[in-house]
Chains A and B, each alone.
Chain A
Amino acid sequence: MWNYEKRLQYPINIKESNPKIAQFIMSQYGGPDGEIGASMRYLSQRYSMPFKIAKGLLTDIGSEGSEMFRSPLPLFWYLCNRIIPLKRQPV
């Protein structure tokens, strides 16, 4: 199951918004070569994998892939900062 930890996989430190890079980041997210596809492939392939070591590896990189397809999104939002105004909801 997905076990969420309240942090990113890798720290992000973006100083200014950049819509061009934001567009590129989004192209790495979905599509035939995107992280979602890769992650789902690893996680499906593990069921028919006969070797113990590769079963573990497919599970672990598949999980990392699912982490990585979440990483472009915060990155995307940081890059869009000040273009799309982010409204903070009052608690």
Chain B
Amino acid sequence: MRNQHNTREALMQKIYTYGFAMYEACLFLDTHPCDIEARAYYSSMRDAYKEAADQYKMEFGPLHISDVDASTYWTWLDDPWPWEGGSC
């Protein structure tokens, strides 16, 4: 099912944005593990990140080797790598 509003670039932008926010919240929580507000922020960013990443791997291919569907062929090598201009 292709969502018209999410092009590959738009989806990757979401992954970058939510991934960054999730990671920064993680660093804050490492030294402030009891902060309720920060934990709620982390959870919402994590959920948004997961949603975007799940949609990306469903529509455009694997982000992680565990996403590869190897039933027909090895799709991991399909897209250009990040340093070749792919996925960014």
Interface residues of A (CB under 8 A from B): 3-8, 10-12, 53-54, 56-57, 60-61, 64, 73-74, 77-78, 86, 88, 91
Q: A74-B83, A91-B77 are in contact. Are A11 and B30 (CB under 8 A)?
A: no
Interface size class of B (residues with CB under 8 A): 20 to 34
Closest chain-A Cβ to B43's Cβ sits at a distance in Å of 17
**A6-B26 in contact (CB<8A):** no
Taking CB atoms, residues of chain B closer than 8 Å to A88 are 84
**B27-A61 in contact (CB<8A):** yes
- Give bound CA distance, A54 to B31, whole Å: 7
- Give bound CA distance, A5 to B88, whole Å: 12
Q: Does B20 contact A (CB under 8 A)?
A: yes
> B57's closest neighbor in chain A, by CB?
A6
Among residues 39 to 88 in chain B, which have CB atoms less than 8 Å away from a CB atom of chain A?
Answer: 62-65, 77, 79, 81-84, 86-88
